Amino acid sequence: MTATRSSLTALALALATTVAIGCGGSSDGDQASAGKQGGSITIAQGSQPDSLDPALAYTSNSWEPLWLVYTPPLTYRRAEGAEGAELIPGAATALPNVSADGRTYSFKIRKGLKYSDGSPVAADDFEHAVKRVLNLESGGTYLFEGIEGATQYIEAGDAEGDIGGITADDRTGEVTIELTAADGGFSNVLATTFAGLVPADTPFENMTKDPPPGVGPYAIVKSVPNREFVMEKVPGFDIPDIPKGNVDTITTEIVKSASRQAQDVIAGDLDYMQDAPPNDLAAEIKARHSDRYKEWPTLSVNYFFLNQALPPFDDKQVREAVNVAIDSTAIARILGGRLSGTCSLVPTGIPGHAELDPCPFGDPNGPGDKAKAEQMIKDAGATGEKVTVYANNDPTRPEIGQYYTALLNDIGLDADLKVIDGAVYFSTIGNQKTKAQTGLASWYADFPHPSTFLQQVDGTTIQPTNNGNYGNVDDPQINKEIAALLPEPDLQAVANRWSALDERVVEESYIAPYGSEELTTFLSDRMDFENCSTVHPLYGNDYSSFCLK
Amino acid sequence: MALAFGVLFVVLVLGALVAPLWASTVADRDPNRTNETGKIEVDGRQVDVVSLEGVPIGPQWRGEYFLGADANGRDVMVRLLYGARNSLLIGLAAALLTTILATIVGLVAGYFGRWVDAVARSTLDVIWAFPVILLGVALGTSLAVGGLQIGPFELEAGSMAISILVIAVVYVPYMARPIRGEVLALREREFVEAARAQGAGPLRTMVGELLPNLTSTIIVFAPLMVANAILLEAALSFLGVGVVPPDPSWGNMIDAGVDKLVTAPHLAIAPGLMLVLTVLALNVFGDGVRDAFDPRSSAAWGTRRP
Amino acid sequence: MTGFVARRLAQMVVVLFAVSVLTFLIFNVIPNGDPASRMAGKSPTESQVEAIRAEWGFDESLPVQYVKTMEQVLGGSAISYFTQLNVREEIVRGLPRTLSLAIGAAILWMTMGIALGLLGALRAGRVSDRLLTFVALAGVSLPVFWLGALMAHYLGFKLGWFPNGGYVPLTEDPLDWAYHLVLPCTALAILFIGFYSRVLRSSVLDTMGEDFVRTAHAKGLSERQVLLRHVLRNSLIPIVTLWGLDFGAVVAGGAILTETVFDLQGVGQYAAESVGQLDVPPVLAVTLFGAFFIVVLNTIVDIAYAALDPRIRVT
């Protein structure tokens, strides 16, 4: 998913035996240890989550809280690092049974499961949750379109219609899903908040102002959009391997300024901030409050998109020149040091990451070669070409935009910068009419799979509006291979074919990556930082681990 | 005293004009060229211009990085001077445009009266009713993506012309009303009657007879208009419209600086002080001008509402 | 007199209509992307975007769109393109904050302005007067967003004497409410204090030369009595009218900068944020509300003036 504001979740994709990602934190990787019970805390986010309705929510702002409110049939282990990427049963009794041809998934809903308002969970509720995602035209629709009858349901336009491919037996609690084609990653879809169970009478509308009850350690009891929302611990919640939470009440306030958030956490008026503290205060925090602050790497990629549908980036040499020139250490300073250089699209630690040593464009953590890049631009005959750089106005983004603009000017292009408000940024650069040549972008995995990254350069995803393939990359070789690899059930077996794709992206300079951002955890004095702060690789700071001293 | 401040203002303008010279000779830094990873020598040691944690160095009080660096490693003093060019250019141009428009509207409305006056006053009322900053931000934002095309004229988004236009229009009522009042008063005087008796048409009367008598009012208003224009430009740049980064303007430098007051206060304080000094100079100078030309005029403070 | 009032009221309606049309045009005529696709969120299909377009009337002609949007705004049912929040509710929520700021600042600048202006007039021509003039001009020259930011940081965060921005509703805790308003009101007031003190000073000096003042002196009243009973009362007229206009302007939009810097989340800040997101309904609503405020206050001032000075009624 794309980052909203500067708060992002980390997604450590290391399945089973692959390399464990070094994560910060003193926790030994086990699930959040039960700490002191009770109390209430106030936390802050920099902007209103896109939605508090599980069918619609699709950003890290919203997933961080909603993960604890709506448990899907499957979920991820509540642990740090590699362990956190392991799929475990959530509302289901066990991981699904998958048929030999990979097209049928079946699982059983746990008996006696109840929603936060006490009403019982029925097997039918799963289909209702999926119907809401489809009917409300959610951004997560594409994840469920592979289910038999899903496209017919959408076309029929009847909310109460039936999705042929999902059948449920309320007596046994068994749910069976038929897919139109095998999809190796479908289990991950069953673990997204989109699949979070909600009561069958939940209306077909955006329920942000009054979120429906769910199954989870916490429930949202109050929601005032753009101001705050309140989560309370659900007393009867009991699913093995999902922590029940320590704190009783969590109030999330929307505080736009990261500076104020940081100041409030320092002073103790806030207990946690989702955004990273601005450099200004980070220095002070690291010096004087390091006992309640940590930074951790994420599985993400920050890059400059290069629109190949327009000059000058339709020329490979120009694209290469940009990659050669980029100095990620300069950008690292703008990010207060919270950046580690990258060479390719798929981040380290995800199967399918191409380990390119040396990186064809020079050391990703070293300075760029502006002189060489300037020559390359000259050779390509692109000197003096006008370029408009796009950036949004979230913290640090305008400065990165200014760095990039100055860089392009230094290597011989004629660049200027446009800073667009964060709320309309992605739809602006995603609109072909804007003719955005280049600009800032980033991607955090929706789930542990290289496809979520390579989809950014998949030609079949290009759209006239709300385009996610900002570079308009359309490489038949890549398109074909992605289509062939998606149905594969065993990721490990085909990991090297994914890496080959990642390598091709680098060879063709389809994007200009500059690094992977690190995120932060900063808690107030009253919180028990040492024992009660778990960072989940996919969902970020785990609120159910928070506890007071 | 007023004269002293007038001189100060002129000095500031000259300083702004000299900006490129400073940049190339004294500081050897370009206003927009970034330098995050650069180092300079301080007390014999090599020091990062921007630390690894993203903290820029403070004022060095000599040649390069005289007033320190910003988060992108650029020279604050150089940007201050270039910002002065942008801010002053927009301020002066807008004030000039306001004066021209206001004089025309005031003259025409006051001279012709009746429905012409009614239309003019309604238009002024509409402009006046618009929350100023909202109008500026609205126009600036709308134009941010697309730019503007009026017939053969095309304004690129982010160009200074948009700022100048918006600021100029916003202040027209402020000046047009008093001018109109003056014209109303002068219209009944003998020399106007005489001119008309001699067969002078409206244009001749307005330009030949009325306009010269308005000069004192205009002169009294001018410095005030420039001061207001500069302040409004800073406000718009602060809100993200107007002069957009990487181009410097005092307003957008303050905007970038207020988030870094803990480690780098010079980023916000320097442009702010420059702004205050410039506007103050204009205000004191304008006050002196008013005293000289028309001590009893309350026009400069816009008290009368005819 | 009634004719005059009627004319002014009619004018008011015309002006408000013009303002609404202009605001609407600014966002819809100037090319700025497709609002329907912006609202559709991530990865929608063309049909989804079409559906939104039909619902909001984007595919209809401009006049129809205008009428549809205005219906919603005036009827109180307008919702934001993005957050889906009801615009009227948001304005109602932000209004007490903006008003608290405006009224607090207004009281401050009036009292300080009158005091300093009077002082200046009494000591006209002397060194202290020149000094006051200079201070007043300095006050007018300070950009409020810069001053506010510095005050919030140094007096708020660094020294901790005052809260570092934010707002506490009056109903929740009156003392905390006032405490949070000290810095913002002061920052906003400083801008006007200088201005008003100068106006009052001129006005007092003008009045002191009038006949009725000489008469009062001749009648044997003391300097003080003359000042307070006659001069001040008469010199206040232009001040009060000015005050009405400025207060209207502050509520309508002048408070935007102060609200943003101190994060008061009033109407002005709401509008500024919405504009940045090209979110038309809130901007339209707030602009109209602001224009309404300004126009109403202007009209009241006009009528008051006409009541006092018959010559003006003819215009």
A325 has a pLDDT exceeding 90: yes
Give C 8-67 residues with CB within 8 A of chain B: 11, 14-16, 18-19, 22-23, 26-27, 30-33
Q: How many domains does chain B have?
A: 1
Residue A4 has pLDDT above 50, yes or no: no
- Tell if the CB–CB gap between A464 and C83 is shorter than 8 Å: no
ipTM of the complex: 0.83
Chain C residues inside the 8 Å CB shell of A423:
82, 276-277, 279
* Mean pLDDT, range B128-144, rounded to an integer: 73
- From the number of C-beta atoms within 10 Å of its C-beta (0-12, 13-18, 19+), residue A71 rates as buried
Residue B100 lies in a domain: yes
> Degrees (nearest 5) of the Cα angle C211, C214, C220?
145
Question: Is B244 inside any structural domain?
Answer: no
Q: Looking at residues A218-229, what average pLDDT do you find?
A: 88
pLDDT at residue C30 greater than cutoff 70: no
Q: Is A432 on the interface with C (CB under 8 A)?
A: no
Nearest to B148 among C14, C30, C260 (CB): C30
Mean pLDDT across the stretch C158-176? 83
Distance CA B114, CA B154 (A): 36
Top pLDDT among A58 and B3 is at A58
**Statement: residue A420 has pLDDT above 60:** yes
Beta strands A535-536 and B45-48 are: unpaired
Give residue C81's pLDDT.
66
* Residue predicted with more confidence, C54 or B135: B135
Task: Give the model confidence (pLDDT) of A472-500 as tens digits.
Answer: 999 999 999 998 998 887 888 999 999 99
Lowest mean pLDDT among A12-26, A180-194, A251-265, A271-285: A12-26
Residue B126 lies in a domain: yes
Which chains reach chain B with 3 or more Cβ–Cβ distances below 8 angstroms? A, C
Query: Would you call B59 exposed, middle or buried from its count of C-beta atoms within 10 A (0-12, 13-18, 19+)?
Result: middle
- Joined together, the tokens standing for residue A404 give 């990039």
Chains that touch A (3 or more CB pairs under 8 A): B, C
pLDDT at B305 over 70: no
What mean pLDDT comes out for the span C202-224?
72
User: Is the per-residue pLDDT at A236 higher than 60?
Assistant: yes
Q: Which CATH number belongs to the domain containing residue B212 in this structure?
A: 1.10.3720.10
pLDDT at B142: 65
**Which domain, by its residues, includes B217?**
89-234
The answer to whether B258 contacts chain C (CB < 8 Å) is yes
Tell if the CB–CB gap between A330 and B52 is shorter than 8 Å. Answer: no
Q: In this complex, which of A208, A421, A433 lies closest to C277 when CB atoms are compared?
A: A421
Residue range B195-210, pLDDT digits in tens = 777 777 777 777 777 7
Per CB distance under 8 Å, which residues of C are interface residues toward A? 33-34, 37-38, 40-46, 48-49, 51, 82-85, 90, 157, 164-166, 263, 276-279
In a domain, B132, yes or no: yes
Q: How far is C160 from chain B (nearest CA, A)?
A: 14
Phi and psi, residue A457, nearest 5°: -120, 20
Residues of B with CB below 8 A from A405's CB? 32, 246
Is residue B137 less than 8 Å (CB to CB) from chain C?
A: yes
- Count Cβ atoms within 10 A of the Cβ of residue A435 and give its class: 0-12 exposed, 13-18 middle, 19 or more buried: exposed
Q: Which residue bears the tokens 């920050």?
A: A302
pLDDT in tens, A174-213: 999 999 988 888 999 999 999 999 999 999 888 888 899 9
Compare CB distances from B284 to C137, C195, C249 and report the shortest one's residue. C137
CA C32 to chain A, closest CA, distance in angstroms equals: 9
DSSP structure class, residue A213: P
Cα C19–Cα C20–Cα C23 angle in degrees, nearest 5: 85
Query: What mean pLDDT do residues A128-157 have?
Result: 88
Q: CA nearest A335: which of A515, A523, A524, A539?
A: A515
Query: What's the pTM value of the predicted model, to 2 decimals?
Result: 0.84
Quick check: B55 and A283 CB within 8 A?
yes
**Residue B296 pLDDT grade (very low, low, confident, very high; cuts 50, 70, 90):** low
Residues of A whose CB is below 8 A from C46: 464-465
Distance from CA of C198 to the nearest CA of B (A): 8
* pLDDT over 90 at B150, yes or no: no
Residues of chain B neighbouring C315 (CB-CB closer than 8 A): 306
What pLDDT shows up at residue A506? 93
Residue B305 resides in a domain: no
A109-113, B156-160, C62-66, C166-170: segment of lowest average pLDDT: B156-160
Residue B47 resides in a domain: no
Are A403 and A353 in contact, with CB atoms under 8 Å apart? no
Q: Is residue B203 part of a domain?
A: yes
For residue B152, what pLDDT is reported?
Answer: 56
Mean of pLDDT values over A59-81: 91
Strand-by-strand arrangement of the A40-45 sheet: A218-224, A228-233, A249-254, A40-45, A272-273
Does residue B242 form part of some domain?
A: no
Q: How far is C142 from chain A (nearest CA, A)?
A: 24
